[in-house]
Chains A and B, each alone.
Chain A
């Protein structure tokens, strides 16, 4: 462990260890096969067992009998990132956890997806102001596909998030770029909304 993970978030943004470089080969996907694969991927999202705090309980509820995400084929929660397809960031990510999250994400086999569950993972949520240790949104650490708001989002909301992700995969959409302007302030209202 190198000293000072907190350095990651002070001063100029320094890239996380492990920059992504595409490996050669692969990627000959066309037409119908493409669709079949997208169908398979979207219907078999195995989540990583990853929960940091309160939202993890709601994630467990989603797995539980009443909401039962196994109906969609999500129930094979894997404990190792190698076998998981989607990482549901259920809970707050703090600065000490951020490298861990990054490492977990890096160690997942491609293709991989990320759902930010709850206010904390989306933006820092309740811990946005006045805290020295919370990452203000998991997308500062890893790229996020779907954001689910709520504190905690109720299980149906998480299911809705998963369905959104399914739709996204089926539509063949690529992941948004990492939002680079960290410390994006909530005051900065985008133009589309303010008019």
Chain B
């Protein structure tokens, strides 16, 4: 807390990144767009690179854009404010991305949630099973836009 806040030069970070990354600025927080297969390398880099050390994954979610899914990771440093948003597009029919539960352990539960809500398969996740939904929900992902449940869901 008492440390001086140092600004991060995201251009340089992107240049140093081990994998191709697209930087988008102009949004409230800088955004990095990455191809799904490259995500584990980038995650490792963001976590360990000395000038970044983003050790605090505070939000992990997914958005269904009807044509594709987007994984959204909000990363931060534990003492300094260096929020960065990493996004990765996934195929809607066969969403797959590597798990980062080994890097940020909080991801384990968040990924399980995304798994059941969006059907994203997290490769290498230690224990990928339903967390919130009752058993037998595999395959129906309620937070997808096309989810319909005519019995339980009464539309207003």
Contact = CB atoms under 8 A, between A and B. Distances in A.
B151 interface: yes
A133 B152 CA distance: 7
Nearest to A182: B151
Given A5-B134, A6-B136, A7-B136, A132 B149 contact: yes
A101 B147 CA distance: 27
Given A96-B133, A129-B154, A130-B155, 14 more contacts: A3-B136, A4-B135, A4-B136, A6-B137, A6-B152, A9-B152, A10-B149, A95-B134, A96-B134, A128-B154, A132-B142, A132-B147, A133-B142, A136-B154
A183 B152 CA distance: 9
22 contacts: A1-B135, A3-B135, A3-B136, A4-B136, A4-B137, A5-B135, A6-B134, A6-B136, A6-B152, A10-B151, A10-B152, A95-B134, A128-B154, A129-B156, A130-B154, A132-B142, A132-B147, A132-B149, A132-B153, A133-B133, A133-B152, A136-B154
Contacts of B135: 1, 3-5
A177 B153 CA distance: 25
A39 to B, nearest CB: 42
Contacts of A6: 134, 136-137, 152
Interface string A119-137: 0000000001111111010
Q: What is the interface residue range for chain B against chain A?
A: 10 to 19
Interface in A1-37: 1, 3-7, 9-11
Contacts of A132: 142, 147, 149, 152-153
Interface-centre pick from A96, A130, A132, A136 (highest chain B CB count, 10 A)? A132
A4 B134 contact: yes
Interface-centre pick from B137, B142, B149, B154 (highest chain A CB count, 10 A)? B154
Contacts of B142: 132-133
B153 A131 contact: yes
Contacts of B137: 4, 6
Interface in B127-156: 133-137, 142, 147, 149, 151-156
A95 B142 CA distance: 14
B151 A129 contact: no
B153 to A, nearest CB: 5
A12 to B, nearest CB: 10
Q: Considering the complex of A and B, which 3 residue pairs feature the smallest CB-CB distances, nearest first?
A: A4-B136, A129-B156, A3-B136
Contact of A9 (B133, B136, B151, B156): B151
B156 A130 contact: yes
A121 B10 CA distance: 51
A16 B59 CA distance: 39
A21 B154 CA distance: 34
Contacts of A129: 154-156
A11 B151 CA distance: 7
